[in-house]
């Protein structure tokens, strides 16, 4: 068997746009997951029974079912409710909800690691519970769990590949198309593997840079 | 009783206050009146309820029975009364509890801007004034982790003062400090006392009590056991438990 990477090389414009698609899904998914994570923890902290129960139920459902099933569910269930979204938006929604459930768990751990004295100091100064969470507890909590959150977001970046199942436009779907046209399976998937590796490393580096900027105060 | 007939207006009043943690009776029918400008030192063995008592005054703890009135606001479950009391009563904690992600100056202007709605310029001017007063004005741009324990506690005092409180609560403010830093914090508190601040201090610093307290209150097992001027309290403690406690404390100093 002779290897022929020229077919892959010739398809570079398609691969590049696939990379863009993957990065769009990953970045939007992370942003949505982050919002869901912080809001979810804020709701849990408010200690109202029904909203807390809903958040907990959401987290448990997402964490105990496969992502592939979740994305199919959203893709086929929403139209039944009269909501039509294109595959890219659906994929971002699925990634955000899935990542958000894990983010809630991680951020909650961070919030619990912040001493009660911080909250009491805020309350004693006359701030309300919401302000205490937003202005005092949140940032140190995020700093404490930022490494775990980053690994979760790398995982989310790799999970974008599953979005090919609802034909969202991203790197894996582009690869599958090239494979179907050229029958060069090994070359295509070897190339995808390398590209995903590079995407992960870049994501890791970007997340570390963001963390360094956002949490640049000394701890001890 | 006679004592509460003299002096300024009533600042803090606790009547028949009862507090439980589950089955544990933390405060047993506590009565306490603090008048404007009074300086009270609260002492007693650990677990006697002294921290619990002052934490009830700004509603960090809720009570099960009795009544607390602070500066005319009756503390019940209404958030409005709680807000009013917390605006007027400052608190200093054993563990300082400065906000680690904010600079010294930011620590001091947060609540004045959000709670008292001061402009940033006004809040900063006030903050710098109080930071100078606790002799830490030159550290305003640093983060808490870059300061020593004594400096952090002085910032915490300044932060509370920036709300221009009518009374200050101190919850063992020197207990977490290395010995060489205790004095700088006590000196700051003595200065405050001299300027007429109404203060309730939970502390084991008996020198401080002697020097500034109008009254020393001794608690044991959730009750106020003895209440006297410092001279009487130290020379001639009335209650057996206060005598035992003073014996312990003085043996260690």
Q: Is B7 left (phi over 0), alpha (psi -120 to 50) or beta?
A: left
Check residues B144 and A4 and name the one with the higher pLDDT.
Answer: B144
pLDDT for A2 equals 83
Residue B115 has its nearest CB partner, among A118, A127, A140, at A127
Question: Which of A123, A219, A220 is facing B86, going by the closest CB pair?
Answer: A123
Q: Collect all residues with Cβ–Cβ distance below 8 Å to B161 and sequence separation of at least 6.
A: B90, B130, B133, B168, B192
Cα distance between residue B18 and residue B53, in whole Å: 10
Average pLDDT over every residue of B202-211: 92
Q: What is the pLDDT of residue B8?
A: 78
Mean pLDDT, residues A97-108 taken together: 98
Mean pLDDT confidence for B185-204: 95
Say what the pTM is.
0.91
Confidence of residue B4 (pLDDT cuts 50, 70, 90): very low
* ipTM for this prediction: 0.94
How high is the pLDDT of residue B2? Answer: 40
Q: State residue A23's pLDDT score.
A: 97
Q: What is the pLDDT of residue A1?
A: 66
The number of distinct structural domains making up chain A is 1
DSSP assignment, residue B48?
A: S
In a domain, A153, yes or no: yes
As a dihedral over the C-alpha atoms of residue A111, residue A112, residue A118, residue A119, rounded to 10 degrees, the angle is 90
Of A117, A123, A217, Cβ closest to residue B101: A217
* Domain with A120 in it: 6-215
**pLDDT tens digits along B52-69:** 999 999 999 999 999 999
Q: What is the pLDDT of residues B187-196, one digit of tens each?
A: 999 999 999 9
Residues of A in contact with B160 (CB under 8 A): 124-125
Tell whether A1 is covered by a domain: no
Q: Which residue has the higher pLDDT, B42 or A5?
A: B42
Quick check: B143 and A218 CB within 8 A? Answer: yes
| Domain contains A134 | yes
Of A117, A135, A218, the CB nearest to B110: A135
Residue B253 confidence class, pLDDT cut points 50, 70, 90 = low
The lowest-confidence range among A66-75, A192-201, B75-84, B134-143 is B75-84
Task: Work out the percent of chain B whose per-residue pLDDT is above 90.
Answer: 89
Q: What is the pLDDT of residue B7?
A: 62
Look at residue B199 and give its three-state secondary structure: strand
Say how far apart CA A143 and CA A145 lie, in whole Å.
Answer: 6
In terms of CA atoms, which chain A residue is nearest residue B91?
A: A124
Q: Is the pLDDT of residue A42 over 60?
A: yes
Lowest mean per-residue pLDDT among A70-74, A166-170, B246-250: B246-250
The chain A residues in contact with chain B (CB within 8 A) are 115, 117-118, 120-127, 131, 135-136, 139-140, 143, 215, 217-220
The CA distances from residue B54 to B58, B170, B203, B221, in Å, are 7, 8, 12, 15
Residue of chain A whose Cα is closest to the Cα of B168: A124
In this prediction, residue B1 has a pLDDT band, given cuts at 50, 70 and 90, of: very low
Does residue A185 form part of some domain? yes
The arithmetic mean of pLDDT across residues B8-25, rounded, is: 94
On the question of pLDDT at B6 being above 70, the answer is no
pLDDT at B5 over 50: no
CATH of the domain at A23: 1.10.3720.10
> What local confidence, expressed as pLDDT, does residue B252 receive?
64
- Whole-angstrom Cα distance, residue A29 to residue A190? 26
Within-domain flag for A220: no
Residues above pLDDT 70, as percent of chain B: 96
In a domain, A106, yes or no: yes
Could you tell me if A88 and A25 are in contact, meaning their C-beta atoms sit under 8 angstroms apart? yes
Give the pLDDT band of residue A84 (cuts 50, 70, 90).
confident
Query: Is A54 a domain residue?
Result: yes
Mean pLDDT of chain B: 93
B135: closest CA of chain A, how far (Å): 22
pLDDT at B89: 97
For residue A119, the model assigns a pLDDT of: 97
Average pLDDT of the residues in A89-103? 97
Distance CA B216, CA B170 (A): 14
* Mean predicted confidence (pLDDT) in A190-211: 97
pLDDT(A43) > 90: yes
Q: How large is the greatest C-alpha to C-alpha distance in chain A, in angstroms?
A: 75
Residue A201 lies in a domain: yes
Task: Give the model's pLDDT for residue A81.
Answer: 87
pLDDT at residue B247, rounded to an integer: 87
Q: Which of B67, B65, B232, B84 is nearest to B167 (CA)?
A: B84
Q: Quick check: helix, strand or coil at residue B126?
A: helix
């Amino acid at each position: 068997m002779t290897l022929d990477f020229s077919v892959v090389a010739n398809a570079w414009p398609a691969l590049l746009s696939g990379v863009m698609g993957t990065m769009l899904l990953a970045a939007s998914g992370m942003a949505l997951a982050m919002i869901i994570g912080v809001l979810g923890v804020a709701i849990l902290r408010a200690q109202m029974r029904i909203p807390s129960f809903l958040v907990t139920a959401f987290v448990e459902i997402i964490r105990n079912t496969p992502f592939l099933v979740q994305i199919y569910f959203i893709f086929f269930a929403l139209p039944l409710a009269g909501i039509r979204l294109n595959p890219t938006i659906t994929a971002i929604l699925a990634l955000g909800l899935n990542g958000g459930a894990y983010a809630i768990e991680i951020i909650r751990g961070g919030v619990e690691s912040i001493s009660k004295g911080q909250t009491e100091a805020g309350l004693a100064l006359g701030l309300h519970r919401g302000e205490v969470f937003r202005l005092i507890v949140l940032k140190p909590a995020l700093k404490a769990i930022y490494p775990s959150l980053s690994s979760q977001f790398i995982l989310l970046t790799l999970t974008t590949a599953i979005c090919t199942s609802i034909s969202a436009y991203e790197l894996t779907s582009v690869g599958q198309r090239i494979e179907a046209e050229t029958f060069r399976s090994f070359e295509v998937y070897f190339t995808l593997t390398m590209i995903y590796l590079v995407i992960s490393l870049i994501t890791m580096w970007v997340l570390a840079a963001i963390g360094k900027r956002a949490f640049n105060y000394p701890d001890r | 009783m006679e004592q509460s007939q003299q002096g300024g207006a009533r600042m803090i009043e606790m009547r028949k206050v009862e507090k439980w943690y589950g089955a544990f009776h933390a405060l047993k029918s506590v009565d306490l009146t603090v008048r404007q400008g009074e300086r009270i030192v609260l002492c007693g063995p650990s677990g006697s309820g002294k921290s619990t008592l002052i934490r009830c005054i700004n509603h960090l703890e809720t009570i099960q029975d009795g009544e607390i009135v602070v500066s005319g606001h009756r503390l019940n479950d209404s958030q409005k009364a709680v807000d009013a009391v917390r605006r007027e009563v400052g608190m200093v904690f054993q563990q300082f509890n400065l906000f680690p992600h904010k600079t010294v100056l930011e620590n001091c202007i947060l609540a004045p801007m959000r709670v008292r709605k001061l402009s940033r310029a006004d809040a900063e001017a006030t903050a710098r004034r109080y930071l100078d007063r606790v002799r830490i004005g030159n550290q305003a741009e640093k983060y808490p982790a870059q300061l020593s324990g004594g400096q952090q506690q002085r910032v915490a005092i300044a932060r509370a003062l920036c709300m221009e409180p009518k009374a200050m609560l101190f919850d063992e403010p020197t207990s977490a400090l290395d010995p060489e830093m205790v004095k700088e914090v006590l000196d700051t508190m003595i200065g405050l006392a001299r300027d007429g601040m109404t203060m309730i201090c939970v502390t084991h610093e008996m020198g401080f009590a002697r020097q500034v307290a109008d009254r020393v209150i001794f608690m044991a097992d959730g009750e106020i056991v003895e209440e006297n001027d410092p001279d009487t309290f130290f020379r001639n403690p009335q209650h057996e438990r206060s005598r035992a406690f003073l014996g312990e404390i003085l043996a260690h100093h």
